[in-house]
Structures are given as C-alpha cells and as structure tokens.
Chains A and B, each alone.
Chain A
Amino acid sequence: GQQVMQIPQYQHVQEGEDFTTYCNSSTTLSNIQWYKQRPGGHPVFLIQLVKSGEVKKQKRLTFQFGEAKKNSSLHITATQTTDVGTYFCAASGGYQKVTFGIGTKLQVIP
C-alpha cells in the first residue's frame, strides 16, 4: 500500500484563524481522501481527489491535490469551534489497500 506522511500532528488556532494540514507521499498516488473524526466519534468521509492539480471546495474547506499527485492539503478558512477534530488523509491506489496518515488534531480556541 501507499505510505503517507501528514503534518502537523497537532494545531491550536484562535477561532477565526485559518488552518492547513498537509499530506505527502514519496510515490505517486492514484487518489487521496480526506476524513474528519470528531472527538468521541468515528472517521467520516469528506472528499476524494483524483485528478492532478485538482481543487475542490466545501464551504470553508478547500482541498488540493498536487500536480505530481504526491501531496495534498486541506485548508479551512476562518475556523469555527465546530471544526474541532482530527483530520486524516488516506491514500488509495484504486484496488489497493487504503493507507491513512497519522492525522492532524485541530483545536479551536474560542
């Protein structure tokens, strides 16, 4: 399966500040997924990126897939307390096993 590194592992931001988490791989990825896990909950799928250079938006969340398909980012604009949780990237190779990054735990200070 693919190997992915995710940074940072932890991030504290003031409410209203922006937040970004990064996912990197040494190999070309077929596609990448992002999941959010609220405290006490289970991971929930957010989005999948497939195309080189792809950018997708969900309200205040912007997801990017690098041109080389080796990295991805999730950016949240003007964080809110509801954004608290752990954000995981997951690399997939089509029919191969999906591999999760270690996750970025976001804490939003009101």
Chain B
Amino acid sequence: GAGVSQSPSNKVTEKGKDVELRCDPISGHTALYWYRQSLGQGLEFLIYFQGNSAPDKSGLPSDRFSAERTGGSVSTLTIQRTQQEDSAVYLCASSLLGGEGTDTQYFGPGTRLTVL
C-alpha cells in the first residue's frame, strides 16, 4: 500500500512569507508526528496528533508554527513569517499506535524548506 507522502518535496520561499507543508499519513494510522531536521542534525520533535485527543504541541519552537489534522487524516504544518533559521527538512511520520508493538513510525520523504 501507499506510504506516507509529503508535499511539496522542496519549497523555496522568501523571508517573511508564510508556507504550508502537507502530510498524507498511511490510511488508518491514528498517530501523526511532525519533526524538523537541520542539515546533519538529529530529529527535532515539533507536534504529535493522536486520534481525537488534543495535539501535543510542546515541540513547536515559536507561535509562528502551527499544525492541523483534519478528519484524523491529512495534516498541514504552517509556518508564518518564515525566518532563515526555519530552513530545514520537515519530516512527517505516522503510526498505527493501537497498543504495545504497534508504535513503528513510517516516515515520509520530507519537505526541504529553504528560506532566502
């Protein structure tokens, strides 16, 4: 079946503009994560959605970042008034999270964001 998809694959924007990044998780997966990865660095957790629960936004670096997950499926990460330090690869992952042993995360290919 289809894996996690993300769009766009690359986004170049000017400082101060808003951007929207999209994630289509694997169908039926209840958990969805957004991560940020700067060049050569580890995974920085941003936000976590699990079913109908309130999202865990503890990783969002500033109030310029927000995310939604509509209908328990597609998610959009929005960055307002982008800054150069926002340049990174934004990764989305989903998991079934049906209990013990189902936490495997399946990652999308990422969106490479470059803020000029």
List the interface of chain A (C-beta within 8 A of B). 30-31, 33, 35, 42-45, 48, 50, 86, 88, 90, 92, 94-95, 97-103, 105
Contacts and interface: CB of A to CB of B under 8 A. Distances in A.
Interface of B: 33, 35, 40, 42-43, 45, 48, 50, 56, 91, 93, 95, 97, 99-101, 103-110
Given A100-B43, A103-B42, 6 more contacts: A42-B107, A43-B91, A50-B101, A88-B43, A94-B103, A100-B35
B45 A99 contact: yes
A86 B39 CA distance: 12
The prevalent SS among residues of B at the interface is loop
10 contacts: A31-B101, A33-B105, A35-B105, A42-B109, A43-B91, A45-B104, A88-B43, A97-B33, A98-B103, A103-B42
A35 B35 CA distance: 15
Contacts of B101: 31, 48, 50
Contacts of A86: 42
A100 B33 CA distance: 12
A31 B108 contact: no
A97 B35 CA distance: 13
A43 B43 contact: yes
Contacts of B42: 86, 88, 100-103
A94 B100 contact: yes
Contact of B107 (A43, A99, A103): A43
Given A95-B97, A98-B33, A98-B95, A42 B105 contact: no
A45 B106 contact: yes
A97 B43 CA distance: 14
